[in-house]
């Protein structure tokens, strides 16, 4: 392959064009030829989950769990795996061949044994009566409605979100394949099923895929009844103690039926790169993989034209250029790869929001046999030039870009793991408002549509595949299948996503236990690294390090240095010295830079600061960073962490400390904060809660005070002044109540009831302005911020009156009536003057009129164990959320609370 990868002593340059999705085929004049069909299988699934005693159709045996510590510190050392022997009656040997397309060495491909296990089991049979099963649509998360497990020894602990994601369940669906499809290849494409998916069709075991985060394809063709109904049956087995966060359960991403002629573009079969890019000209390479699954040799002609993509990802207008047509001879049952190259004049480049535009193209490949189009395959892509410079950081299209990133887990809050495009888009919109320009998808491949969004919205992405390798973090995590599946999972992950313009680097591991095993661990890292570069030699690959040091062999494997917390130091500040156990290290940016002067450094996880939105606990730490504990930033009774944004996990640091460390080491390319949004599970420090405390934004999508601290740094040209805490403290009159201000200015003056408390400047390596001796008196707080000596911004907050009414706003007043689109309604409890009452926790009732439904409610409180499906939700610190789906026409969301004036939100749908 003629792909560009330039390395010298100081710089890595990567230039790539990328695809972000595949649509139905189009002929060259855009008239649909329907030779390739891709049908979304959303509705009409029947679902059953066992309450106990599941069936014996297991993938493989698992180790017995004798002891588990759900609340151990996140940077605890991973443990060695327990060795087990498989039994003869497990189905693993029949499932492993599903990986064969992603195994390079032919001698290591799996041979399917004789027999058809499970064929006599009732649920896979076509005549089984499933009328009593629950009807669901996919994507579907069986656990999100709860109920939450409570108490000290729950079946599912706080680490996995206290929700019933574990267990075994079945999905069944009938599909009709017309007789006119006879002779075609029919595939089932599953974007994600959690986990150990095994698929039967008409009683035949087709195959499966154990890893719940990877997309996979199964060939249904040999088992189909053409001209009639066909019965799909999918078994999902999601073990408890399999993750450190909420995994969700079920078929939680989209499912597709793909129909193609025997000669067709292979799965994820295009790879487009550009060896040279400038504003005047781009050289475009196309690598195309074609399959001939027929029993006859064929001569085909291949044509690929390039179009500008419209706002919906479709070709717009006429083709702007074309690759030379190619005639290829294909033997029966053969795969063929070929390359072609053209030059595009005056290319429009893809870049990072908001500094650059997000231009996208579509390469439309059509295969002809005897002059007749037999397949058409669309490859959206973007042209951009990426440079990894070890001394000056990241450059996109020649422009320096400071990485202002966050980590994101895969759940969507109250919607759970079931992927929804609008919910994901809303998350990214709020992050973009923050000033965030980069996402690290931790610690697994995202839904493919999420990368479509990052392409369209201009985010940079580090795409990650594994949280563990051979050594385990939880008893039933990925280490159980790593030996059999690491190659297939890595190759399929790269092939699916390798041409997204937003993806700038690969991560093949996160804080893995192999950091601790010296050369042995480095050898595994090298094996994974090499697989990644075989699939995509145009991007750098790394694994994040929270333990490995510059002199360890693990670090030498990496193309760039990806540090978790080690840059700013772990447990090294004065407030952390009393902590026992865990990793302890001083800031290591200089040591890594000295050891690897030719590698760019990025902090793949920073901060892990903790807070509960709108909750303030006294006294306030004098240090700029301190670990939370009971009574020191934390309240174990209410399970709240103070929102003064100074408190952290044991291994973490406050934003202030992180900013200072990065500013002292300007060669660091930037950071990915842990985390952008709160997420389900891992509720440090209170594992009796349901969700994390580390987000800049809470689980409902409401901004914490920390949002404005990051915004003041990441959007320095935005006039901003933000005061904390709120000013409703009827039990603190005359008591010291510190006031902190986050501002993009460089100095500020604070007024309490009109009296100035002085004008203060930010000193070097300070990122907030503090008045720590303010005595609380009801009334008004006002801050005026200045920049370069001139007025910049102001904010005023007041002691409110009593709660008297409800106020509501909707993110969009018109949505699609497609069964997927959502409206998010924010509810505030206010006083008579419309000021939000920040201490109000009234119970709010939601009801709906018209053809719509209330999907979920939330309030952002990590300790709230009321089901997300409830229509009655207590406000938390003045706010609550409702999520609504419209089916047709106009709907009314009626919001009431005892003693408060109600409000109504009107939502229209198309």
DSSP H helices in 279-364 = none
Contact call for residues 154 and 211 (beta carbons, < 8 A)? no
First-last CA distance in the chain: 47
State the Cα torsion 578-582-588-593 to the nearest 10°: 180
Count CA atoms closer than 13 A to 232's CA, side-chain side: 29
Instruction: Please state, as a whole number, how many other Cβ atoms lie within 10 Å of the Cβ of residue 821.
Output: 19
- Which stretches does DSSP call E strand in 488-585? 503-510, 541-544, 561-564
Nearest in space to 448 (alpha carbons), one of 160, 256, 698, 680: 256
Q: What's the angle, vertex CA 178, arms to CA 448 and CA 298, rounded to 5?
A: 75
Which of the following is catalytic: 261, 291, 511, 645? 511
Residue with token string 């719509």: 852
Give SS3 for 780.
Answer: strand
Bridge partner residues of 192 (DSSP) = none
Task: Answer yes or no: are the C-beta atoms of 345 and 307 closer than 8 Å.
Answer: no
- Among 387, 535, 605, 645, the one annotated catalytic: 605
Chain-centre distance for alpha carbon 208? 23
The tokens for 776 are 């609380």
DSSP, collapsed to helix, strand or coil, labels residue 649 as coil
Q: Is 688 helix (H, G, I), strand (E, B) or coil?
A: coil
Q: How far apart are CA 463 and CA 214, in angstroms?
A: 12
* Per-residue DSSP letter, 576: G
Name residue, tokens 């994040």.
544
Length of the chain: 910
CA atoms within 13 A on the CB side of 295: 1
- Which residues on neighbouring strands pair with residue 184, listed in sequence order? none
Rounded to whole angstroms, the Cα distance separating 56 from 118 reads 9
Closest CA to 285 of 268, 266, 269, 271: 271
d(CA 26, CA 36): 9
Instruction: Check: CB of residue 515 under 8 Å from CB of residue 31.
Output: no
Residue with token string 């985390």 = 675
Parallel, antiparallel, or unpaired: how do β-strands 438-441 and 403-408 relate?
Answer: parallel
From the list 625, 611, 620, 703, the residue with the least C-alpha distance to 659 is: 625
Q: How many CB atoms lie within 10 A of CB 219?
A: 15
In the residue annotation, 511 being an active-site residue is answered as yes
Which residues have CB under 8 Å from 671's CB, separation 6+? 403, 404, 405, 567, 602, 603, 606, 607, 658, 662
Cα angle 216, 217, 222 (rounded to 5 degrees) comes to: 155
What gap in Å lies between CA 366 and CA 165, rounded to an integer?
Answer: 43
Alpha-carbon span 368 to 217, nearest angstrom: 25
Q: Extract the tokens encoding 99.
A: 């990986």
Sign for the pseudo-dihedral over CA of 813, 816, 819, 821: negative
3-state class (DSSP) for residue 449: helix
H helical segments located in 628-700? 655-664
Clarify whether 449 is annotated catalytic: no
Is 506 within 8 Å of 536 (Cβ atoms)?
yes
DSSP secondary structure string, 36-87? Answer: SEEEE--S-EEEEE-SS---S--SS---------TT--TTPPPBPPPP----
| Residues carrying an active site annotation | 511, 605
């Amino acid at each position: 392959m003629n792909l560009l990868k330039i390395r010298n002593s100081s710089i890595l340059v990567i230039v790539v064009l990328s695809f972000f999705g595949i649509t139905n085929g189009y002929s060259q004049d855009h008239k649909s030829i329907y030779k390739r069909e891709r049908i979304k299988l959303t509705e009409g699934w029947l679902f059953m989950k066992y309450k106990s005693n599941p069936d014996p159709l297991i993938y493989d045996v698992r180790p017995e769990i004798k002891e588990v510590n759900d609340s151990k510190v996140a940077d605890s050392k991973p443990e060695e795996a327990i060795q087990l022997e498989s039994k003869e009656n497990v189905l693993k040997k029949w499932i492993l061949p599903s990986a064969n397309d992603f195994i390079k060495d032919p001698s290591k491909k799996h041979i399917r044994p004789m027999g058809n296990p499970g064929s006599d089991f009732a649920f896979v049979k076509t005549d089984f009566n499933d009328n009593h099963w629950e009807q669901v649509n996919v994507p579907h998360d069986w656990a999100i409605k709860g109920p939450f497990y409570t108490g000290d020894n729950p079946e599912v602990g706080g680490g996995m979100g206290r929700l019933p994601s574990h267990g075994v369940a079945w999905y069944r669906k009938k599909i009709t394949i017309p007789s006119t499809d006879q002779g075609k290849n029919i595939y089932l494409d599953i974007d994600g099923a959690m986990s150990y998916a095994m698929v039967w069709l008409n009683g035949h075991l087709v195959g499966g895929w154990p890893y719940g985060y990877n997309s996979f394809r199964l060939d249904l063709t040999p088992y189909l009844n053409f001209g009639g109904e066909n019965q799909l049956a999918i078994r999902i087995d999601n073990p408890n103690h399999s993750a450190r966060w909420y995994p969700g359960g079920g078929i939680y991403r989209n499912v597709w039926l793909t129909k193609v002629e025997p000669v067709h573009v292979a799965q994820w079969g295009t790879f487009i790169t550009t060896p040279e890019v400038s504003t005047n000209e781009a050289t475009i390479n196309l690598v195309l993989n074609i399959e001939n699954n027929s029993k006859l040799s064929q001569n085909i002609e291949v044509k690929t034209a390039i179009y500008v993509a419209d706002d919906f990802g479709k070709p717009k207008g006429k083709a702007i250029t074309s690759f030379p047509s190619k005639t290829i001879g294909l033997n029966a049952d053969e795969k063929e790869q070929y390359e072609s190259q053209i030059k595009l004049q005056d290319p429009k480049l893809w870049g990072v929001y908001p500094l650059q535009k997000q231009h996208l193209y579509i390469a439309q490949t059509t295969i002809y046999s005897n002059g007749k189009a037999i397949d058409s395959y669309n490859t959206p892509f973007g042209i951009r030039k990426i440079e990894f410079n070890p001394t000056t950081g990241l450059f996109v299209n020649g422009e320096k870009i400071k990485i202002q990133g966050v980590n994101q887990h895969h759940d969507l809050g109250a919607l759970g793991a079931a992927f929804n495009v609008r919910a994901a888009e809303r998350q990214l919109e709020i992050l973009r408002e923050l000033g965030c320009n980069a996402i690290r998808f931790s610690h697994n491949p995202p839904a493919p549509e999420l990368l479509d969004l990052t392409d369209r919205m201009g985010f940079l992405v580090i795409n990650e595949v594994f949280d563990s390798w051979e050594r385990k973090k939880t008893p039933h995590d990925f280490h159980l299948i790593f030996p059999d599946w690491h190659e297939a999972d890595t190759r399929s992950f790269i092939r699916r996503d390798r041409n997204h313009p937003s993806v700038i680097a690969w991560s093949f591991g996160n804080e893995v236990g192999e950091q601790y095993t010296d050369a042995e661990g480095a050898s595994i890292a090298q094996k994974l690294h090499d697989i990644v570069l075989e699939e995509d030699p145009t991007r750098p690959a790394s694994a994040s390090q929270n333990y490995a040091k510059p002199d360890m062999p693990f670090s030498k494997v990496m193309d760039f240095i990806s540090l978790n917390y080690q840059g700013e130091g772990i447990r090294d500040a004065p407030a952390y010295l009393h902590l026992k156990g865990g990793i302890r290290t001083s800031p290591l940016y200089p040591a890594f830079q000295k050891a690897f002067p030719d590698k760019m450094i990025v902090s793949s996880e920073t901060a892990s600061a903790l807070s509960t939105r709108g909750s303030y606990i006294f006294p306030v730490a004098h240090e700029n960073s301190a670990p939370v504990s009971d009574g020191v930033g934390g309240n174990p009774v209410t399970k709240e962490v103070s929102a003064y944004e100074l408190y952290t996990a044991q291994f973490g640091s406050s934003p202030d400390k992180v900013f200072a460390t990065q500013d002292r080491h300007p060669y660091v390319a930037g950071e990915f904060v842990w985390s952008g949004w709160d997420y389900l599970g891992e509720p440090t420090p209170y594992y009796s809660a349901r969700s994390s405390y580390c987000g800049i934004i809470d689980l409902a999508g409401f901004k914490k005070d920390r949002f404005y601290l990051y915004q003041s740094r990441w959007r320095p040209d935005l006039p901003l002044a933000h005061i904390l805490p709120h000013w409703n403290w009827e039990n603190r009159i005359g008591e010291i109540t510190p006031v902190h201000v986050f501002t993009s200015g460089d100095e500020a003056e604070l007024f309490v009831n009109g009296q100035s408390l002085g004008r203060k400047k930010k000193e070097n390596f300070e990122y907030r302005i503090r008045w720590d001796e303010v005595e609380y008196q009801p009334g008004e707080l006002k801050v005026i911020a200045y920049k370069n000596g001139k007025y910049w911004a102001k904010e005023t907050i007041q002691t409110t009156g009593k709660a008297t009414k409800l106020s509501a706003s909707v993110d969009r007043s018109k949505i699609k009536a497609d069964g997927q689109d959502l409206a998010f309604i924010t509810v505030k409890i206010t006083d008579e003057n419309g000021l939000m009452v920040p201490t109000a926790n009234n119970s709010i009732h939601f009801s709906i009129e018209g053809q719509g439904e209330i999907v979920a409610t939330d309030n952002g409180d990590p300790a709230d164990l009321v089901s997300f499906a409830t229509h009655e939700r207590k406000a938390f610190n003045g706010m609550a959320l409702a999520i609504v789906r419209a089916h047709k026409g106009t709907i009314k969301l009626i919001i009431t609370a005892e003693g408060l004036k109600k409000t109504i939100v009107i939502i229209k749908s198309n």
